[in-house]
Every structure is written in C-alpha cells, then in structure tokens.
A and B are shown apart, each in its own frame.
Chain A
Amino acid sequence: MSAAYAELHCLSNFSFQRGASSATELFERAKRHGYQALAITDECTLAGTVRAWQASKDADLPLIVGSEMALEDGPRLVLLVENLTGYQHLCRLITQGRRRSEKGQYRLLREDFAAPLEGLCALWLADLAGDVNEQGAWLRSLFPHTLWLAVELHHGADDDRRLQQLLALAERLAIPAVAAGDVHMHARGRRALQDTMTAIRHHCTVAEAGLRLFANGERHLRPLETLAHLYPPALLAETLTIAARCTFTLAELKYQYPHELVPAGHTATSWLRHLTEEGMQWRWPEGIPQKATDLVERELALIAELGYESYFLTVHDIVRFARSQEILCQGRGSAANSAVCFSLGITEIDPARMNMLFERFLSKERNEPPDIDVDFEHDRREEVLQYIFTRYGRGRAALTAVASTYHGAGAVRDVGRALGLPPDQINALADCCGRWSKDGPPLDDLREAGFDPTLPELRRVLALTAELIGFPRHLSQHPGGFVISEQPLHMLVPVENAAMAERTIIQWDKDDLDLVGLLKVDILALGMLSAIRRTFDLIEHHRGRKWSLATLPAEDKTTYEMISRADTIGVFQIESRAQMAMLPRLRPNTFYDLVIQVAIVRPGPIQGDMVHPYLRRRNGEEKVSYPSDELKVVFERTLGVPLFQEQVMELAVVAAGYSRGESDELRRSMAAWKRHGGLEHHRQRLTEGMLARGYEAAFAARIFEQIKGFGSYGFPESHAASFALLTYASCWLKCHEPAAFACALINSWPMGFYSPDQLLQDARRHQIETRVVDVQASDWDCTLEFAADDPHCTGEPAIRLGLRMIKGFRQEEAERIAALRPFTSVTELIQRAGLDARARELLADAGALRSLAGHRHNARWAVAGVHEQAPLFADLPVVDEAVALPAPSVVDNVWVDYATLGTTLGPHPLSLLRGELRSRRCRSSAELKATEDGSAVRVAGLVKGRQRPQTASGVIFVTLEDEFGMVNVVVWNELGERQRRVLVGASLMQVEGKLEAKDGVQHLIAKRLVDLTPLLSGLQVGSRDFK
C-alpha cells in the first residue's frame, strides 16, 4: 500500500517556456496515479487557473490554487490559497509584482509581504547555499502557523545528504517539512520538450543551454510507490494536511457589477426602465408603436429576472459617452439587437426592420451572461477606452488578456532555433507550415522543400513541434474586451502591464471570463464607422442635411438596385470580389437579404456547402422543403438552408432534443473543436436525438458535417444583422452621395479592400469629377467642391484631392498651408508656411504647385531656388532666373503621379498602351462586358490583386485593372504551377482564356498568361499580394 500524497508544487504550461504540460494532462495523470489533490502553482501568475479549475472538474480531483514566486531580495516560495481572503491576497501580491515590471516580467520585494497574508500557506523552497537562517526567520514571522519547508528530491548528486540537511534545517528553525515535487511536466516523456522550452527561454540552443537544463526528467508526477521510496512517510503525510486546509475554489468568487451608474433613489431595475422609456420617446417621436412597447416590456422583465440590469446600464453609459462626443458606434451580439438596446442607443437597428431576431435575445435556460460588442469609429476608439479608464479607475477596469498560443510556424521556428538549425532551414520549415496552421508541416510539403523527414534531426524537430503547438506562449492584450467591476479587479484576478504603455490587462482571457462569470464589454474599432461619420459630416457641412444611421431612409429601392448590379466598391462587407460575384445572383432587395448576404460569403457556409442550395432555392430552381414542420420555423427565413450559428443551436433543440443549456455548450464546442476537438460526443448525441424524432440518418450526418464546417467560422445572425446595417448605410451613401462617400473613404484610409486609386477610378466611372492636388485649393483631407453657380450645393460636387494623398507629407504642414492660403508665389508659400526642403520637394514633385510654378519640373527648380533669407533682406525682390526646362511627358506624369500620389488623374496607364494592346488583339474590360459567355478572349491589365482563398483548393484569383474597370481572372492550380513565374512576377499581365458569364458576373478562366511588364517600363503599380 503506497502512501497518500497531494502534489503542492506543480507548474503548468502557463509558466511560459517552463511548464511542459497542460493542466488537463497534469490532472489526468495525477488522478490516474491516485494523488489526493493537485496544486497548480505557475510562476507569479494565475493566468492558467481557470483552465486548471476546468481540468480539475473534468478529472474530479481537487485543485489547489497557488503560485510559485522568487523574491528579488529573498527566498523562493510557493504560496497556496486556503480561502477567499487568501486568494485576494495572492492576487494583490501578483498584481504588485507584475505592475512593477514590464510585460511578461515581475519583481517582488520583501516589502510587498508587509501587507496581510492570512489565508495563504507558504512552502519555502530553501536554497541551502543562501542565508537560510535569516530567510527562515523572516518567513516564520510572516507565516507564523502556515509555513512549511519544501523538501524536493530529484535524484540529484546526493539526495540522502540533501534530505538530512533539509530535515536538520526544519528542526533547527522549528518549521514543519513537507514533500513536494517541483513538477514541470506530467510525465517523463516531456523531458525533451521541457529542455527545449528552457533553451527557448534562454534564447540559446539546447546544446548551449548546458547546466541550465535539468539533469534528469524527475520533475514529473511520479507514481506514489516511487515517492514512498524517496521520502519519509511523515513528509508525504504532511502534504495531505496542507491539502485539507486549501479548499478554496474559483466558484467562491463573486463578481459585482459597478454600482455608481444608478442615481440615488433608484434601483438598477427602475433606472434601466427610466432610461429605456426616455429612449423610446427619442426613437419614436411620433408615437411609440404598441409592438415596440410590448417587446420592451418583455425584455425588461427578462433582464430583471436574470439580474442583468447593470450590464445594460454599463454599456449604455459607454455608448452615451460616445454619442456625447459624436463618436459613431453600433452594438452587435445577441443581446444588442433588442428593443431595449435600440432605445438605449446601443444599436441602430429598428426592431421593426428585423422582428425575427428578438426571439433569441436572452434566454432563461441558457445561463449565459449577455454579450454585447460595440464597434466604434476606428480613429476615436481610444477616446472611449480612456473614458472607461477614467470613469472606473484603473483598479476597476482593465482589458482582458489573450493567451497567444503556438501555431505551426511559430512552434517550428522556436524548436528549430533551440535545436540549432540554420536560419534558412528554419524559414523553409516555417514556410511549410503556413502561418496560422494548427498543425506541424505536412510531410509532403517538407519533401518538396528539400527536407528528408526521416532524418533523426528533423524527426526530433517535428515531434517537439507537434507537442508545442497549442501551448500558450505569452499573454497579450485583447483588442477591446473590457472587464469592469465594483470591487478592485485585483481582488478577483491579478492585473499586469500590457505591451502598450498605460494599458493594464487582467490575467484571464475571454473564455476564462465566461467560466467565472465576469462581465465583459468588447470595445472594438471599425474603420467603416469613421468613413460613415465623415460622410455624414461632409453632407451636413455642404448641404445642411443631418443624417444618422437610424434616420437614413430604409429599404431604398435604388440602393438595392445598385447593390444587385454589384456596384459596391468601397461599401462595408459586400465589396470583396467573392461578395461582388454573389450579389447579381442573390439580388438582395430587403434588409434581411443583406443580413444573409453578409453571412453567406464566409468560410463556414462555403465549407458546409450551403451557398449553392440557398441560391438555387432563392432563384426558384429548387423546391424549398423542410425535413419537418418544427424545423420549418427554424429555417424558413433562410429557405431551409442553415446559414447561421443560431439556427444550428435551434436545430439541436428542436430536432435532437437538446436543452437550451446543452445547445449553448454545442456552440462553445463548435467554436473550439478545431483547437481542442471534442465534437464527437455531439455527433452521437445529435444523431441519436434526430433518429429518435424520426429524421433520417443521412440527414443527421449531413447536419453534423455542416456543424463541423461552421466550426470556427460560423457567423451568428445577430452579428450579421449589425453588420448589414452598416452595409446598408454605406450603400445608401454610395448610391445617393457618391462623391461625399468616396471622399470620406479616402480620408479614412487605410481601411477596406480598395486603394484610394481604385476608389477614385470608381468615382470617375460614376461621372464624379476629381481634381488635382493643389496648394491653392487642397486641404489635408480630400474635400468636396461645388460649382460656383450652385450656392446651395444641390448638384453633384467634385472631389478635390487632399494633401494627404502626397506620400510622406505631414499633416501639420498641410494644415498651415490650408490656413494661410492664397499665395502669390512659391517663395511666399515656402516662407509663410515655413516649409522645409522635404515638404517643398514633395509638393513640387506631386504637382501641387502647378498654379504657382507651372509643371512639376519648373516647380522643383523653383523650390530649390528658395533659400531662408535673413529678415534684413526680406523685402528685397527675389530675382529668379528664367531657365528652360523640358516639360514632363504624359508618360512621365503618370509615372511620377503614381510614385508621389499613388494615383493619377491623368490618363490611366493602360490607355497609353491601348494601341499596343489592340495590336496584340487584347480586349478592354469595357469590350468584355459585351462579350458572350463561353467566348475565347484575350485581355490585359495591371495586376491589382492575387488571392488564394482558403476555401478554394489551389486556385488563384487574379484581379486585372484597365482604364475601364476590373477583370476577374481565375487561374487553376495546374496553370498556376506551370506559369508560376508570370503569375507571381507580372505587374502587367495578358491573359488568354475562356469567358464565363452568368447572371451578370464575369470570370475569365485563364489558359495562358503572358508577362507584359516591360511595356510599363518603370511604372509603379501596387498589388495586394496574397493577403
């Protein structure tokens, strides 16, 4: 009979680059070997605690929460948590140590232990070479009754002697001794990985790591018999004494919403009602429809029942701030699209437009905190973040963390470096992985890249890489997930510094929060909101008309016609090539069509093969049918095809007998299965449930495949609806205010799919005049110019390019120029606006001085002749020498326009080559429009993009541009391999192939590619390569 034992000192892989096993692995093994409890004591962090808690519940083995730490000026120790008070003290200590240091480091000092420490047990990891008497005395004064001396034996040089020394020390200082394992891995088999991580941590190779490696693999969860051999029974028994004291679990944490949002005399419930009713008056000034009142009442009742008032009040407060600063925002998520949120201004979607969504607002069965993400204008999100920090204080508000995990390429890089592979080989190996692949490099790719996967060196690399993938690597900052709490956050979870100055993050990530029940609001940034805000501002400024997202005319016919023509360059979401190819087939003509459109062109539905069935049904080519009447309710709005995450969950309830809670668990598994697996038990459960309810096995199998396809990519309807609102708004603006919209897009750049050059070409194709950059007329931003005989700005304006278009030009200088206009000479401009040599040369080269100095050659000559003059001579006339410089040719101008502005208002480069191209029998994109399906054609254009969609195997989409528009080229894998050089290298490409035209969508299936780049002779044209 072996002794009973609890491991009290064990690191998981959240001790980054130290712990070589996950909590799950540790708990499974500890349970199997009959341990009584397992402490996870990651080094000065609780980042892995929630996962450890989950693993402990799964393995049915108690978790002891704790942390190992090394004091800068003192001993190393392990702190173990007895109760909630102890937990809070530990959080405070870790927070202190982490906040004092830069990201990823900590510094703990003895003075940090002056604060109360009750509720904590301490294991002293004594260094016998140090001043043990002094350290022991100090520790005993801190933990008078809860200090133990840890005895850790790992078959070192002389374990017997070490044991005797430690026991003697314990006796001398009257501290009880206890056995511990200093566990770094669950099993001995992780020894190589642990050595590798040590090398990674020290930025050296394993061979160089030398004595920094452990001498052996004893630091794992050893079988109890082994431990009984090593340790005196009393030391083992003592572990149980400590384990019995440390009974704290994370379930005891009680999160409280912030309270200050409720004014005196109100409860959260009454205040939310008050705000909602106020908002209803604002939303429906002409009278509140009965339907809305009913909905609001129902929702308020549900919120009150679930106790989520404070959550809505918190989001409302943030949105209210944004509104007061005129920052555009839009909420999304299941709870966001509700009548209450509409009234509170969190969403702009009028429930009247979308009444089917609100059924899934919140549910009693799903015991899940409400989830609202709010998108803010990209440029101004920081103001919102700072508001939250100021309002609640840094102690109570922090960003959530993201535990960045190893992907294939990163893992193979780190392992390769640790094993001393040369950089070229490491790069080549990483290239084989693909950046985001969750797997190691495929063997075939390795062989193709010239590796021999059977070599022992490479096999070691691959085996270690496979083990390392999925391990957390470091904590980084979540893009916008905020946690706000009534108590200081460090009473819930340690807080540490993020890489960005003035940012703090909590040690838990998004998934952890759900398990512990913390409130989280996502404060996200969206470029399109900036563009829409700028468009609104331009319209208001010129036409005096004030639009908002909510007041734009709904269901506008001409807007939908424009969308159906795929005339959507620049708008939100439906501007990509894949989306544009879908639009003429889907022909959206209601808001809900847009919701579907946003969701359907995504990897989820594409991989689940849902796109074509939906299209066929919509176009009446296939009968709309439902497997059963219950499912008709679920799938009617998508014509019987599952497109949304919510529908899958609904299906599980209706057709397979899931409870709401279980279907929610299915949603989580769906999101996580690629990472962790764990969908298989749902397959059985779903299939059985569906068979029992009379569905066919084949149908059940198909549904399950679709669920898997959804996996990581499934798009929730509630998000699609919020996006669709912005899509509609941007389309409406493009349709009715095209100049203002294009202007605002360029001013918000970088964003979206298209470059300013492409946006301007699109504007010109819509008969919008574009005007050159000129110091006498241009501001920093692009502006609108109305005709002189149009004082009320009713006509269509021209776009005046702003000085921001000049690459490298600075905003301050542009603003000085705009404020000091007009100028009479180059000299005056330079001197009054105080332009340095760089600025004036940029202006001259960009052609922005043409009204003062003529063509750009003369302008450059002129600016070079202006020197800083002493004030004494400021009045002297400047004698400028008239010299004859050659004027730039048309081609010169195009060349320099692209180099300096990234666009040209002169002829499109291809129009200069049109004669040459015609003699090569190339058609223009305009001629192509009138060409029939199936024709053999030849076209040429600038290569504007090469895309290799993940969903299409091996095919590459090339976008060509000429003076009339774009041509979509499809290059199949085989041709791409054969003509790789042209495909990768050409800036100007001639393509011969077969035209496929259907429903107004044209694709050119390439048969042969020719590189015509030499014709361009130096013209610089950017391409979006393989993004």
Chain B
Amino acid sequence: MRWVCIVLPQLALDAVLRASSEPEAPLALITGTAQRRVVQAVNDAARELGLQAGQSLTTALALSRDFTQVEYDHGAIARWHQFLAAWAYSFSSQVSLRYPRALLLEIESSLALFGPWPRFEARLRSELTALGFRHRLVAAPNPVAARMLANAYDGLAVSDSQMLHEVLARMPLNRLGLDSKTASALARMGLRTVQQVLALPRHTLAKRFDAGLLLHLDTLLGQRAVALECYQPPEQFEVRIELNFDVESNQALLFPLRRLTADLAAFLAGRDSGVLGFVVHLEHVDGSRSQVDVGLLSAEREPNMLFDLARGRLERLLVQSPVRAVSLQAKDLPAFVPEHRELFDERPQQSVPWQQLRERLRARLGDEAVQGIQAHADHRPECAWQATAGSKPPLLGDSPPRPGWLLSEAQALRERAPQILAGPERIESGWWDGGDVRRDYYLLLTRSGQRVWAYRTVSQDEPGPFMVHGWFS
C-alpha cells in the first residue's frame, strides 16, 4: 500500500458548483460546436429532470428549460487539477497528474506523519469535501493499480500483492483503462474479467494483441515498475525583507525597495522572463498591510525601470503607520523579448526611451491618464477612434478628411450663417447598438477664420442648427 489514487469524477462540475450560491439548483455544463451543442455534465438536480451527459442541448431543452447552462471550461479543469495537486503536495512530495481528473500520491513516506491509513484517508476525504470536490479514493501497492481500482471501488485499501491479485482478478475488463480497441476486442471474444484473460496462455494473447495489453496487466499486478513524472509547484517570485527599525517615511523605504526590485530583476534574468506586474506589500506595526500594485504594459526586467515604477507608485501612497516589513510578489512572469538596439546608440544622454517615459507618466499620473489611441472602423466620427491601453501604433484606415480635434460632445455653433466650404457629407450609421445617427456634416469657415466641422441632423422638417463636432487646425 504505497499509493493512493483520488479520482475526481466531476471535476468540471464541482469547479462551477463550489462557486455557485445555489449548488442544489439544476445545472448543466454545455460544450460542442455552435452547430451541435452537447450536454457535458449535469448535477443531481438536473439529472432528476432527465438530463444526462452526451445529450444534445436541443434534446435537453425539449425535456426542460428549467436549468442553468454553463459553458464547459477546459482551462478551468486544468487549473483546478493543478490546484488540487498543490493541495496534495502538502501531504506527499510525490504527486502525479498522469491521469486526467485524478491525483496519485505516494503515501508510504507520509504515513508516519499523517497515518495510520484510516486516519489519513479520513483527513483527505474531509479536506476534499470541504473544498467541494467529489472523489473516490483507493490505496494500492502501485499507482496504476490504484488508479484502475478506483474505477470500480471507493475506499478500498489493498495491502499486499496477493490481495491485489485477488481484487484485480475480479475486475471487469472494461474498467481497466485499456484502449478501446483492445477492450472491445476482448469483449467480442466473450472475455469479461481480468481473471478470464489471465487464465489464457500468455503466448496466445501475445499473438493476438499488441504488447500493450500484457504490459498493462504486468504493471497492474506490480510485476513491472512504472515511471511517473512528479508534480512541481509553480515558480513565482516572492521575497520579504524585514526591516530592523520602524520606517515612517517613504524616502526610507526606497532602499529596501531598490533591493527587492533588483532581486526581482535578477530572478527574472535567471529564468529568462520578464514581469508584467508585481505587488509590494508594506506590513505595518499595527499588523495592518498596505498594498501597492505595479502594472506594466509589456514584460520588462530592467532593474532601474522596475525601481522607478515602484517608486512612482510608492511615492503617491500615504504611509499611515510605521512599516516593519516589505515584501514583493510577482506572479505574472512571461518570457522576455529584449528590445533591439543599434550598436552605436545615437540617442542623446538626456533623453529617455519612449517606453520608459510612458511608464513614468503612467506611474505619476495614474493608469487612466495615459492612453493610446487607435482608429476604429466605424462611420460615426465619435466611434471612429478609441482609447486603448495597448501601445501599438494606431492603424489608420482609408478614411475621409477628419478634424484633428474632435469634441467629445458636439456644441451648437454660435455663428448664424457661416460660410460652407464643403458638404454635406451624410452619415447614417450605428442602428445596431442603439446609437443610430443621421447627420449631414459640413466644413464651415467662421468669421474669425477658423475651420469648423459641424453637422445638422437629417430630418424631414427644417434643418436644425449647426452642431460643432470638431476643429481643423
């Protein structure tokens, strides 16, 4: 009894239900193409309505409309699998994610700490239940046997190889994790249990099946060792500096901050990644914490830049009470793409690279104050460009002449009869989002010689007043 397998029969569903305020209400996970939507999993209440996995959504809706549909999320399954592995890692240093929707734990070495087994098992179950995951759990001498027995049993603990042999012999072949081709071939030969297969001369099986079958049987019975890849907890950066004295001014925090950002930069360089954002925590004397979030627009790792950014943010923070410790945590660590530089850099000494300036402005003025601008294909002028957080250069379409300064809201033109230079250009668009406009735009010249872009709303009646929408330079 060295290995435990925890099977999570409804991982995807549990992931949704544990976040739901009404886990008892009928719920179905839906997947499939837009043309053919299929029910992937259902909870008990939905099963009561007659829903079942594999049904088309159309059939399910024919049975009942009274259930919640949630999109089946492959990403969530992987995340929760990782999450549970991290949880299991606290019980065993050998955790394997080899099988989907299942965890394998080596427990021999953990039994001393958490054992004996019944107590250990109870603890695993209670924690899983508290976390909100249904499970089946089997302990066996080898990981593959533990996994396969968990298909048919829950709570079984196989202590030795003789017992393993007995239990496995009774196992139905279709629960054994064989590939479907082998499984159906065995079934079509009238073979139902492991025992029946083991009773056949080995060479007759070898002749009829590829090596995988005997290999699998041997592994199950523990006659052949299996190599498992073990789970490694994810890498992230977290360093905490405890200060020797209570710090009350921002200035005094700059020193530890410079250390932390430098460490971060070194760490990033070591794993050849950059950072998209990090968090600085200040731990105060009174036990409270302040948090400073630092976000970047692209992955960076230049120490001075990281420090500048963090400083900019920190300087805007009012330190309420003395600080005892500072920590820095960085999780968002994408690969770093270095900037291309000329061999002979021609930039004058004083100038700052654009990215650095941008980040400095953002740090000083706030994220919302600095924005990119992007052309957006829409006939309505007010929709034709948009602020974006991205820093890509604006894509300019093949658009008619537009003023450089567009007012966010049009204002009535004070002048009575301005001179019309061009127009009307008629714009009728936007009905689909409720913002339909129908306007005739004119290029006008005011008495003071300004060139105005103004419109009149198209209507059956008298033309309305000119509304100034922008100014040409």
Stretch at the interface among A95-103, A479-487, A789-797, A879-887: A879-887
In the complex formed, the residue of B with least CB distance to A420 is B432
Given A856-B188, A865-B204, A881-B204, are A460 and B426 also a contact pair (CB < 8 Å)?
Answer: no
Tell me, rounded to whole Å, the shortest Cβ–Cβ distance linking B385 to chain A: 12
- Are A216 and B423 neighbours in the complex by a CB distance under 8 Å? no
Interface of B is mostly: mixed
Given A158-B422, A207-B433, are A857 and B189 also a contact pair (CB < 8 Å)?
Answer: yes
The reply to whether the CB of B34 lies closer than 8 angstroms to some CB of chain A is: yes
* Cα distance, A285 to B70, chains bound together (Å): 76
The reply to whether the CB of B378 lies closer than 8 angstroms to some CB of chain A is: yes
The reply to whether the CB of A981 lies closer than 8 angstroms to some CB of chain B is: yes
The reply to whether the CB of B317 lies closer than 8 angstroms to some CB of chain A is: no
Q: C-beta contact mask, B38-75 vs A, less than 8 Å → 1, else 0?
A: 00000000000110000001110111010001000000
Chain B residues with CB under 8 A of A207: 378, 432-433
- Are B429 and A213 neighbours in the complex by a CB distance under 8 Å? yes
Tell me, rounded to whole Å, the shortest Cβ–Cβ distance linking A971 to chain B: 14
Chain A residues with CB under 8 A of B209: 864
Within 8 A of B (CB), among A483-511: none
Q: C-beta contact mask, B188-216 vs A, less than 8 Å → 1, else 0?
A: 11111000100011011001110000000
Chain A residues with CB under 8 A of B423: 158
* Cα distance, A981 to B401, chains bound together (Å): 63
The reply to whether the CB of B393 lies closer than 8 angstroms to some CB of chain A is: no
Chain B residues with CB under 8 A of A116: none
Given A211-B379, A424-B37, A980-B63, are A861 and B440 also a contact pair (CB < 8 Å)?
Answer: no
Chain A residues with CB under 8 A of B160: none
Tell me, rounded to whole Å, the shortest Cβ–Cβ distance linking B155 to chain A: 27
The reply to whether the CB of B244 lies closer than 8 angstroms to some CB of chain A is: no
Given A218-B426, A456-B434, are A427 and B34 also a contact pair (CB < 8 Å)?
Answer: yes
- Are B428 and A191 neighbours in the complex by a CB distance under 8 Å? yes
In the complex formed, the residue of B with least CB distance to A417 is B34
Given A427-B34, A857-B189, are A216 and B429 also a contact pair (CB < 8 Å)?
Answer: yes
Q: How large is the interface on B (under 10, 10 to 19, 20 to 34, 35 or more residues)?
A: 35 or more
- Are B189 and A885 neighbours in the complex by a CB distance under 8 Å? yes
Tell me, rounded to whole Å, the shortest Cβ–Cβ distance linking B444 to chain A: 13
Within 8 A of B (CB), among A146-164: 154-161
Within 8 A of A (CB), among B412-430: 422-429
Within 8 A of B (CB), among A205-225: 206-213, 215-218
Q: C-beta contact mask, A617-646 vs B, less than 8 Å → 1, else 0?
A: 000000000000000000000000000000
Given A865-B208, A883-B201, are A191 and B431 also a contact pair (CB < 8 Å)?
Answer: yes
* Cα distance, A212 to B397, chains bound together (Å): 11
Given A207-B432, A215-B379, A985-B50, are A864 and B185 also a contact pair (CB < 8 Å)?
Answer: yes
Chain B residues with CB under 8 A of A883: 200-201, 204
- Are A460 and B431 neighbours in the complex by a CB distance under 8 Å? yes
- Are B188 and A213 neighbours in the complex by a CB distance under 8 Å? no
Chain B residues with CB under 8 A of A211: 377-379, 397-399
Tell me, rounded to whole Å, the shortest Cβ–Cβ distance linking A206 to chain B: 4
The reply to whether the CB of B116 lies closer than 8 angstroms to some CB of chain A is: no
The reply to whether the CB of B400 lies closer than 8 angstroms to some CB of chain A is: yes
- Which of these, B192, B376, B427, contacts A210 with CB under 8 Å? B376
Q: C-beta contact mask, A947-984 vs B, less than 8 Å → 1, else 0?
A: 00000000000000000000000000000000011001
In the complex formed, the residue of B with least CB distance to A981 is B50
* Cα distance, A449 to B59, chains bound together (Å): 14
In the complex formed, the residue of B with least CB distance to A984 is B62
Given A191-B431, A216-B426, are A984 and B185 also a contact pair (CB < 8 Å)?
Answer: no
Chain B residues with CB under 8 A of A984: 59, 62-63
- Which of these, B37, B189, B428, contacts A215 with CB under 8 Å? B428
The reply to whether the CB of A192 lies closer than 8 angstroms to some CB of chain B is: yes
Given A216-B426, A450-B65, A886-B190, are A865 and B432 also a contact pair (CB < 8 Å)?
Answer: no
Chain A residues with CB under 8 A of B431: 191-192, 195, 460
Chain A residues with CB under 8 A of B440: 155
In the complex formed, the residue of A with least CB distance to B432 is A206
Chain B residues with CB under 8 A of A218: 426
The reply to whether the CB of A841 lies closer than 8 angstroms to some CB of chain B is: yes
The reply to whether the CB of A377 lies closer than 8 angstroms to some CB of chain B is: no
Tell me, rounded to whole Å, the shortest Cβ–Cβ distance linking B388 to chain A: 16
- Are A157 and B425 neighbours in the complex by a CB distance under 8 Å? yes
* Cα distance, A947 to B207, chains bound together (Å): 51
Chain A residues with CB under 8 A of B378: 207, 210-211
* Cα distance, A217 to B428, chains bound together (Å): 6
- Which of these, A154, A156, A841, A980, contacts B185 with CB under 8 Å? A841
The reply to whether the CB of A845 lies closer than 8 angstroms to some CB of chain B is: yes
The reply to whether the CB of A316 lies closer than 8 angstroms to some CB of chain B is: no
Q: C-beta contact mask, A863-903 vs B, less than 8 Å → 1, else 0?
A: 01101000000000000010101111000100010000000
- Are B63 and A985 neighbours in the complex by a CB distance under 8 Å? yes
In the complex formed, the residue of A with least CB distance to B379 is A215
The reply to whether the CB of A686 lies closer than 8 angstroms to some CB of chain B is: no
* Cα distance, A845 to B185, chains bound together (Å): 9
The reply to whether the CB of A785 lies closer than 8 angstroms to some CB of chain B is: no
- Are A423 and B34 neighbours in the complex by a CB distance under 8 Å? yes
Chain B residues with CB under 8 A of A587: none
- Are B379 and A213 neighbours in the complex by a CB distance under 8 Å? yes
Chain A residues with CB under 8 A of B429: 195, 213, 215-216
The reply to whether the CB of A598 lies closer than 8 angstroms to some CB of chain B is: no
Q: C-beta contact mask, A321-345 vs B, less than 8 Å → 1, else 0?
A: 0000000000000000000000000
* Cα distance, A189 to B219, chains bound together (Å): 74
Within 8 A of B (CB), among A419-458: 419, 423-424, 426-428, 431, 448-450, 456
Chain B residues with CB under 8 A of A865: 204, 207-208
The reply to whether the CB of A860 lies closer than 8 angstroms to some CB of chain B is: yes
Tell me, rounded to whole Å, the shortest Cβ–Cβ distance linking B70 to chain A: 11
Tell me, rounded to whole Å, the shortest Cβ–Cβ distance linking B180 to chain A: 13
* Cα distance, A209 to B383, chains bound together (Å): 13
The reply to whether the CB of A20 lies closer than 8 angstroms to some CB of chain B is: no
| Contacts A/B (CB < 8 Å), 24 sampled | A154-B426, A158-B401, A192-B432, A206-B432, A207-B378, A207-B433, A209-B377, A210-B376, A212-B377, A216-B426, A216-B428, A419-B432, A423-B34, A424-B69, A427-B58, A844-B188, A864-B189, A864-B207, A883-B204, A885-B191, A886-B191, A892-B190, A981-B49, A985-B63
User: What 5 pairs across the A-B complex have the smallest Cβ distances?
Assistant: A210-B377, A157-B400, A155-B426, A857-B190, A423-B34
Q: Which B residues fall within an 8 A CB radius of A?
A: 30, 34, 37, 49-50, 57-59, 61-63, 65, 69, 185, 188-192, 196, 200-201, 203-204, 207-209, 376-379, 397-401, 422-429, 431-434, 440
Q: Which A residues fall within an 8 A CB radius of B?
A: 154-161, 188, 191-192, 195, 206-213, 215-218, 419, 423-424, 426-428, 431, 448-450, 456, 460, 841, 844-845, 856-857, 860-861, 864-865, 867, 881, 883, 885-888, 892, 896, 980-981, 984-985
In the complex, given contacts A195-B432, A207-B433, A980-B63, what are 17 additional A-B residue pairs having Cβ atoms less than 8 angstroms apart?
A155-B426, A210-B377, A212-B377, A213-B429, A215-B425, A215-B428, A216-B426, A460-B431, A460-B432, A845-B188, A860-B185, A861-B208, A864-B207, A883-B200, A886-B192, A886-B196, A892-B190
